[in-house]
Amino acid sequence: MRASPLAHVPGMFTVNEETKVQSCLIIGVFISYLCFSSSFWFFRGDREAIKRIAYEFVEDRAKEGVIYVEARYSPHFLANTKVDPIPWNQKEGDLSPDEVVHLVNQGLREGERAFNIKARSILCCMRHMPNWSMDIVELCKKYQHEGVVAIDLAGDESLSSEANPDHRRAYEEAARCGVHRTVHAGEVGPPSVVKEAVEVLKAERVGHGYRTLEDQSLYRKLLAQNMHFEVCPISSKLTGACDPDFTKHPVITFRKDKANYSLNTDDPLIFNSSLHLDYSVASKYMGFTEQEFKRLNINAAESCFLPEKEKQELLISLYKAYGMLKSTPF
Ligand SMILES: *[C@@H]1O[C@H](CO)[C@@H](O)[C@H](O)[C@H]1NC(C)=O
Ligand SMILES: *[C@@H]1O[C@H](CO)[C@@H](O)[C@H](O)[C@H]1NC(C)=O
Ligand SMILES: *[C@@H]1O[C@H](CO)[C@@H](O)[C@H](O)[C@H]1NC(C)=O
């Protein structure tokens, strides 16, 4: 998720080449954490559109065979009042970040009912807007029982959160109130950003995390503690975060090391991507097998931000779909 996505995607249309490889649907069941934040900045201030996009987001995931999804976005980017500064040079209007969250929750809930999958959301703090972060954690708390499961921090990784204590305060409050925590880190920023995410912000999952590999001692430590990495192959090519050659993608190392990670899609509307495409790329260029797809989906489910009981139900659905008994060791 990025503040000005269009500026980052010179390779945007190359995705279509990959469409051709959309060979196989390897397995019909996915768990995913997706970002749709910047996808809908076009619809800022428009209540019906915001709800609709959230609803259609669930529809599209259901069509892809997803059974559980966590969508993340920045409510402030879609608001035009009670947000300072008002984003996108808009005039002040009457849609607050709080109401944005309410609308997205409604859209997701209607989507869940219509398409019979589970959808939750994650609210993003933005690194360059530390003064939005306390607001975000308050929204996470307020809507904790209406589908908001976690807090995220996204944006320019050169802005450390040490220098912006508001992010740290927001994450401390999140931890105190049982709000789950993930942080975009090590996507383009150095391993120190990952270290800070885990040690200072107490992230339970790391968004992307590729550059962790440059600090072997940190990487070994995270492997040992089963830290979960949310990997987005196509996005990392389009944003230039990783070598454009998919056969050199860091997720291949994660796989070899049996790391805890999932495959996800970033900004499906902006990148015109889909989970199928990310899986096809992994299958075609990275040598992923059905066995590995199952393993990573189980890890994704185990690392999801649902309450324990619902997480167990989700795992059982997966085991059933994969024809595995729950007690079968993997
Ligand atoms: C929040 O931060 C932005 C960017 O630094 C600044 O323009 C704005 O005035 C700040 N708002 C408040 C209430 O401090
Ligand atoms: C988006 O991708 C789909 C197939 O995945 C393709 O049919 C469509 O033309 C693409 N749209 C754009 C705008 O590139
Ligand atoms: C991944 O992390 C989850 C909890 O976050 C844990 O339940 C699971 O066992 C981990 N998987 C691996 C392979 O370490």
Residue 276 confidence class, pLDDT cut points 50, 70, 90? confident
pLDDT at 278: 87
Higher pLDDT, 252 or 19: 252
Q: Are 188 and 157 in contact (CB under 8 A)?
A: yes
Which of 205, 211, 180 has its CA nearest to residue 264?
205
- Of 15-24, 137-146, 180-189, the least confident: 15-24
pLDDT at 290: 87
Q: How far is the CA of 7 from the centre of ligand 1 (A)?
A: 23
Q: How far is the CA of 269 from the centre of ligand 2 (A)?
A: 10
Binning the chain into helix, strand and coil, the percentages to the nearest 5 are 50, 15, 35
Q: Which residues does residue 230 pair with via DSSP β-bridges, in sequence order?
A: 207, 262
Residue 212: how many other CB atoms lie within 10 Å: 30
- Of 28-37, 46-55, 147-156, the least confident: 28-37
Query: Measured between alpha carbons, how far is residue 36 from residues 5, 155, 223, 289 in Å?
Result: 11, 14, 28, 27
Share of the chain above pLDDT 70, in %: 83
- 5: pLDDT strictly greater than 70: no
* Ligand closest to the CA atom of residue 227: 3
Domains of the chain and CATH, by start:
24-32+41-322 (3.20.20.140)
CB-ligand 1 contact for 92 (6 Å cutoff): no
Q: Which atom of ligand 1 is found nearest the CA of 84?
A: 11
Give the DSSP letter of residue 74: -
Q: How far apart are CA 160 and CA 178, in angstroms?
A: 24
Cis peptide bond prior to 329, omega within 30° of 0: no
Higher pLDDT, 8 or 55: 55
Q: How far is the CA of 283 from the centre of ligand 2 (A)?
A: 20
- 250: pLDDT strictly greater than 90: yes
**Mean pLDDT, all residues of the chain:** 85
pLDDT at 272: 64
pLDDT at 106: 97
Residue 327: how many other CB atoms lie within 10 Å: 6
CB-ligand 1 contact for 131 (6 Å cutoff): yes
DSSP string, 266-325: B-HHHHT--HHHHHHHHHHHH---HHHHHHHHHHHHHTS-S-HHHHHHHHHHHHHHTT--
304-318 pLDDT, tens digit each: 999 999 999 999 988
Tell me the pTM.
Answer: 0.87
Which of 173, 132, 178, 138 has its CA nearest to residue 153?
132
Give the DSSP letter of residue 83: -
CB-ligand 2 contact for 16 (6 Å cutoff): yes
Q: Are 237 and 10 in contact (CB under 8 A)?
A: no
Probe target for ligand 3 pocket from 33, 221, 226, with the most ligand atoms within 8 Å of CB? 226
